[in-house]
Amino acid sequence: MWRATILTIFPEMFPGPLGLSLAGKALAAGVWGIETIDIRTHATDKHRSVDDTPAGGGPGMVMRADVLARAIDAAAPPEDERPRLLMSPRGRPLDQERVASLAQGPGVAVVCGRFEGVDERVITARAIEEVSIGDYVLSGGEIAAFALLDACVRLLPGVMGSWTSGEEESFTQGLLEYPQYTRPQVWEGLSIPEVLTCGNHAKVAAWRRAEAERLTRERRPDLWAAYLSRKVGPKEQS
């Protein structure tokens, strides 16, 4: 079973939306499991403090290395093969390739930071990988953890209704997904593209590929450049 351990000061937030829809059904079926660790239970003072003022001065508070390390050691000891992740805006951007890699492993242990951040020493000492879901700042890592877990869980065997659903999504082939349509045939004067109703699977596949390439080229020039590099090679591009 794929296991997720969440270290947070708000354990009551979980499973939250992960208890619904596909992820929730898979959770109930035992395809994956989730446990939450309240970081505050590893504090030693009567106030259960997990943070302190930043060294060198400055605004806000910083999560303490000693308290967080105790929580991590209890949740994911050295023999635990799962990667230790910290949701952080300065981390490596999460992409579909990394999601697929995580989904193929035994699970994850995710630290949800709060305040101004986490003492750098615990990140180094516990070999924590920082992961970002975008170039913006959230109040804490919990919302980001939801996104990461949902992306991973839906790739677990048996979670999605059809295995091809994951094969043709955005980013899987290095492209954004092509446009989707369904009934009614005409809606507010707008028709489904004729090619999608012609019954010619080769033409449908060609149209979808062309549309995926068009959308990627228009909306994500970074992805388009990477796609071209893989498709034709850097020498041919030049």
Residue 160 belongs to some domain of the structure:
no
Residue 143 belongs to some domain of the structure:
yes
Q: Which residues contact 55 (CB under 8 A, 6 or more apart)?
A: 62
CA dist 150 and 67 (Å) reads 28
Shared domain for 203 and 146, answered yes or no, is no
**Which H helix or E strand runs over 54?**
none
Q: CATH number of the domain that 72 lies in?
A: 3.40.1280.10
What residue numbers bound the domain in which 199 lies? 168-237
Shared domain for 196 and 141, answered yes or no, is no
Per-residue model confidence as pLDDT tens digits over 13-65: 999 999 999 999 999 999 999 999 999 999 999 999 999 999 999 999 999 99
Shared domain for 101 and 64, answered yes or no, is yes
Shared domain for 145 and 176, answered yes or no, is no
Shared domain for 59 and 148, answered yes or no, is yes
Shared domain for 71 and 176, answered yes or no, is no
Shared domain for 138 and 184, answered yes or no, is no
Residue appearing with tokens 């305040």 = 115
Residue 50 belongs to some domain of the structure:
yes
Shared domain for 49 and 108, answered yes or no, is yes
Angle CA 143–149–153, to nearest 5: 150
Q: Which residues contact 48 (CB under 8 A, 6 or more apart)?
A: 40, 41
Residue 55 belongs to some domain of the structure:
yes
pLDDT of residue 234: 52
Domain boundary residue, one of 123, 153, 183: 153
Residue 236 has pLDDT above 60, yes or no: no
Residue 163 belongs to some domain of the structure:
no
Domain boundary residue, one of 127, 153, 179: 153
The pTM is what?
Answer: 0.89
Residue 161 belongs to some domain of the structure:
no
Per-residue model confidence as pLDDT tens digits over 69-108: 999 999 999 999 999 999 999 999 999 999 999 999 999 9
Residue 6 has pLDDT above 50, yes or no: yes
Residue 221 belongs to some domain of the structure:
yes
Shared domain for 116 and 184, answered yes or no, is no
Residue 233 has pLDDT above 80, yes or no: no
Per-residue model confidence as pLDDT tens digits over 97-152: 999 999 999 999 999 999 999 999 999 999 999 999 999 999 999 999 999 999 99
The tally of domains found in the chain comes to: 2
Shared domain for 147 and 183, answered yes or no, is no
Q: CATH number of the domain that 202 lies in?
A: 1.10.1270.20
Shared domain for 149 and 190, answered yes or no, is no
pLDDT of residue 230: 87
Shared domain for 89 and 10, answered yes or no, is yes
